[in-house]
Amino acid sequence: MIPEIGNFFLIASFSVATFIFCLATFSYYFEREILDLSTLIYFKFGFVFLSFLALEVSFLFDDFSVLYVASNSNPFLPNYYKISALWGGHEGSMLLFILILSLWIILFALFSKYQSARDKNYLYGFTSLIFMSFAGFTIFTSNPFERLLPVPPLNGTDLNPLLQDFAFTIHPPMLYLGYAGLVIPFAIALGRCIGVKDAWSSRIKKWTTLSWSFLTLGIALGSWWAYYELGWGGWWFWDPVENSSLIPWLIATALIHSAIVTDKRNIFVNWTILLAVLAVIGSFIGMFLVRSGILTSVHTFALDPERGLILLIITLLISIYSFYLFFRADTVPKETTDYTFYSKEFFLLINNALLLILAAVILFGTIYPIIYDIFTGGKSITVGAPYFNLTSVPIAFFIAFFQGYGILTSWGNSKKQKNYYLLLLGIVFLLTFLFTYTLFSYPDIFSFASYLMFAAIISGLVIYIFKNLNNKNLVVNNLGMVTAHFGIAIMILGIGVVSSFSQNKEVIIGKGEFTNLSNYKVKLIEEGKEEFSNYFSEVVQFEVENNVTQKKILLKPEKSFYPASNNVMTESDIYIRPKEDLYISLSEKLESGKWIAKIQIKPFVRLIWIGALIMMIGGFLAVFRRIKYE
Amino acid sequence: MIKIRRNRLYAVLFIVSSSAVAVGLVLIALNQNINLFYSPSELLESGPLKNKSIRIGGLVEKGSLNRVSDSLEVNFIITDLKEKVAVKYSGILPDLFKEDAGVVATGYYDKNNNSFQAFEILAKHDENYEPKEVVNALEGK
């Protein structure tokens, strides 16, 4: 009964969204006053929430007559993971996505005040269009409430063990908060096309920054999860799924910067609208690539080409609709401001161009296998990680340098000002020199590039703060920006160091034997078995001794077996130090009783996620300062 | 007005030149970093250049997996149920790598003795999923 109730409310929310969209469209074309649609927005959220609860209840009570529960849960799964198992597969994650989307729409309804209710109704119409597409997609192609009747299985096939993990429980919700949030600037931009002007650019800036912060956290959580849970210590694989989250992130980053210019100077108007539309279309394309199974990826959802086709059609229809509104609109303001070559406007334009080129290059590498397949009649290729490194690092390098100098420029014209670039260059080289000679003996080209990038951004920020010491308000108001830029610098440094100076060793090791890596002596001292409610594992204890400090600690990597799904998992164990991680994972036990293990040293790897966290905090600071400020 | 046009010119020049650089980078990178996929039958039909890295896929033949005692080196045979290729690999095998299951290996092919030196081995990600290429290779597409 409960799944039927859930299904009913899911359909109800879809109907409400369709109704809102039709009513808003009607009101626009016939220029009629209609009721305030806010109430319906709350109803819609309530319906999705009830539907979500119904599915959670089915999970908690092990209702295996629901196909989705049967294929993603198991009676022995701890309750905590039963709750998160809801977004462990395609159907449930779609439900989570539309729940989060309707939550964003409510936040928008609550916190953005419009002068005329009619104007706001139009924006509800645009958000409901997206909601309607996804709710419809969920109901008709991937309904999580589908039943396995009349004979339900006694047992579920269990949640994929990779997903039975803390980071996974919060990674998809954060990521979806990021993706779904981009729908709000999308609606505001389309609203601008039909003449809703209330503070539109500052609103785009605010909502984009907020969802960008969640997107940043979501991507970083995914990377952190992959690092310790996939078992082999990689933190970014240029996998299609990762790329399709990075592309909307890059577009959203460009959008924030372009909206700043539009807000301040009333230029780049069309460009801001276009980016807001592209950000949403970009995340749709990402969703299409991931869920259609058209690309081979580590993240496998139950694949179904029909779903892919429908997602593609939805993406196309929404693109056509948005571009129709965009091209018929008269958005270019009559009065524009002028700017020169040495102005903040021009630097932000460069930033936008480079970010979009970077996004395009990554998109191209991701879909090249499809293009190749089509043009060679079914020949299959993969584009390796070196492609992405080779193309994205140089572009990112230029972005970092323009970023470092760009924040020192002023609006309009910076020519009459002092030129800081000599000072900037000096500091860059000094910092790079210091890094190279204090951290490690000799750098390779990638780490050297990352030092330069780090130094360029940091010195730009330092000069910025010193230059504006007598104007504290400016620095305080831009604290979010400074923080976020500091975060990306930290992340770049982490990426450079860990990519160049990681060490690893694959060893065959028996009880009582030891091996050395860098400053550590790693000794296998004990083997044992442990049993848990839904799996059992072999645990191997290693004693790690630091040759410098003589400190000893124990690491216990595991090899786990999950009988319900017949799955094997590598659980690594990590000795976390401020300077580096020592990472041990087990491969297999040989006939001789010895283990194959991989021992790795990952210097400063945590800077990558700390950097992302700082960026997120920067985003929040920027948004919430502004709310107070207005 | 002239100023605005001049700004536009600068902007367009910048975008065109940086796009050109990006396209150049893409072409160079694509030239070096594409791995073509072959099934064992295709390998025997039209083997690739010796020094170009490729991917091959199929099933790990039953009974073919053997490890050089107490070392990281393994030998096994990949088959598409028509033809076979002997694969050498030194390193850690994925958790779900086993005999009679799908596998994709990246590495270099030696046509003279029909052997493959792999530097990367991918198996299925979970029990229900089979790499797309493996399915196609087995169906003989």
Q: Which residue of B has its CA nearest to A559?
A: B95
Percent of chain A with pLDDT over 70: 94
Residue A568 CB coordination number (10 Å) = 19
Judge residue B69's burial from the number of C-beta atoms within 10 Å of its C-beta, 0-12 exposed, 13-18 middle, 19 or more buried.
Answer: exposed
Query: Cβ contact (<8 Å) for B22 and A565?
Result: no
Same-domain pairing of B134 and B72: yes
- Check residue A305 and give its pLDDT: 72
How far is C-alpha B119 from the chain's CA centre?
A: 10
Would you state the torsion angle of the CA atoms of residues B31, B32, B33, B34, taken in this order, to the nearest 10 degrees?
50
Which residues 223-252 in chain A show a CB within 8 A of chain B?
231-232
Would you state the torsion angle of the CA atoms of residues A621, A498, A544, B94, taken in this order, to the nearest 10 degrees?
110
Chain B CB contacts of A388 below 8 Å = 29
Query: Cβ contact (<8 Å) for B35 and A381?
Result: yes
Same-domain pairing of B76 and B24: no
Q: Does A293 touch chain B (CB under 8 A)?
A: yes
Complex-level ipTM: 0.89
Q: Which residue of B has its CA nearest to A593?
A: B70
Query: Cβ contact (<8 Å) for B22 and A386?
Result: no
Where helices occur in A292-420 by DSSP H, the ranges are 305-328, 344-376, 385-406
Query: Cβ contact (<8 Å) for A506 and B93?
Result: no
Which residues 316-355 in chain A show a CB within 8 A of chain B?
336, 338-341, 346, 349-350, 353-354
Chain B CB contacts of A567 below 8 Å = 96, 126-127
Point out which residues pair with B130 in neighbouring strands.
Answer: none
Our separate counts of H helices and E strands in chain A read 19, 11
Chain B CB contacts of A368 below 8 Å = 30, 34
Same-domain pairing of B93 and B70: yes
Determine which of B25, B103, B135 to mutate to test the interface with A (most A C-beta atoms within 10 Å): B25
Same-domain pairing of B29 and B51: no
Parallel, antiparallel or unpaired: strands B73-79 and B102-110: unpaired
CA distance B52 to chain A (A): 13
- Check residue B125 and give its pLDDT: 59
Number of domains into which chain B is organized: 2
Same-domain pairing of B2 and B49: no
In terms of phi and psi (left: phi > 0; alpha: psi -120 to 50; beta: otherwise), the region of A545 is: beta
Q: Which of A296, A365, A590 sits opposite B70 (nearest CB)?
A: A590
- Check residue A628 and give its pLDDT: 47
Query: Cβ contact (<8 Å) for A568 and B92?
Result: no
Query: Cβ contact (<8 Å) for B91 and A506?
Result: yes
CA distance A378 to chain B (A): 9
Which residues 572-591 in chain A show a CB within 8 A of chain B?
587-588, 590
Chain B CB contacts of A336 below 8 Å = 4
d(CA A585, CA A570): 7
Determine which of A71, A296, A594 to mutate to test the interface with B (most B C-beta atoms within 10 Å): A296
Parallel, antiparallel or unpaired: strands B34-38 and B54-60: parallel
Residues ≥6 apart with Cβ < 8 Å to A202: A259, A263, A626, A630
Determine which of A387, A513, A568, A591 to mutate to test the interface with B (most B C-beta atoms within 10 Å): A387
Chain B CB contacts of A411 below 8 Å = none
CA distance A460 to chain B (A): 22
Would you state the torsion angle of the CA atoms of residues A448, A454, A456, A461, taken in this order, to the nearest 10 degrees?
-170
Query: Any idea what DSSP says for residue A66?
Result: B
- Check residue A296 and give its pLDDT: 62
The CA–CA distances, whole Å, from A38 to A12, A44, A122, A128 equal 16, 10, 11, 12
Q: Does B98 touch chain A (CB under 8 A)?
A: no
Chain A CB contacts of B127 below 8 Å = 565-567
Q: Which of A357, A378, A379 sits opposite B22 (nearest CB)?
A: A357
Question: Which run of H or E residues covers position A48?
Answer: helix A38-60
Same-domain pairing of B41 and B28: no
Residue A107 CB coordination number (10 Å) = 14
Query: Cβ contact (<8 Å) for A340 and B7?
Result: yes
Query: Cβ contact (<8 Å) for A353 and B18?
Result: yes
Q: Does A530 touch chain B (CB under 8 A)?
A: no
Low-confidence ranges of chain A (pLDDT < 70): 231, 296-304, 334-336, 414-421, 437-443, 626-630
Determine which of A271, A391, A559 to mutate to test the interface with B (most B C-beta atoms within 10 Å): A391
Query: Cβ contact (<8 Å) for B125 and A298?
Result: yes
- Of the ranges A134-138, A264-268, B58-62, B67-71, which is most confident? A134-138
Query: Could you tell me the residue range of the domain that residue B28 belongs to?
Result: 1-34
Residues ≥6 apart with Cβ < 8 Å to A395: A354, A357, A358, A361, B22, B25
Query: Cβ contact (<8 Å) for A354 and B18?
Result: yes
Query: Cβ contact (<8 Å) for A339 and B11?
Result: no
Same-domain pairing of B23 and B6: yes
CATH value at residue B135? 2.40.50.140
Query: Cβ contact (<8 Å) for B70 and A592?
Result: yes
CA distance B80 to chain A (A): 16
- Check residue B127 and give its pLDDT: 54
- Check residue A157 and give its pLDDT: 78
Same-domain pairing of B59 and B101: yes
Query: Cβ contact (<8 Å) for B92 and A384?
Result: no
Same-domain pairing of B46 and B8: no
Query: Cβ contact (<8 Å) for A336 and B22?
Result: no
Nearest-5° angle of CA A257, CA A259, CA A264?
Answer: 100
Same-domain pairing of B1 and B51: no
Q: Does B136 touch chain A (CB under 8 A)?
A: yes
Same-domain pairing of B77 and B132: yes
Chain B CB contacts of A346 below 8 Å = 7, 10-11
Same-domain pairing of B75 and B113: yes
Q: Does A567 touch chain B (CB under 8 A)?
A: yes
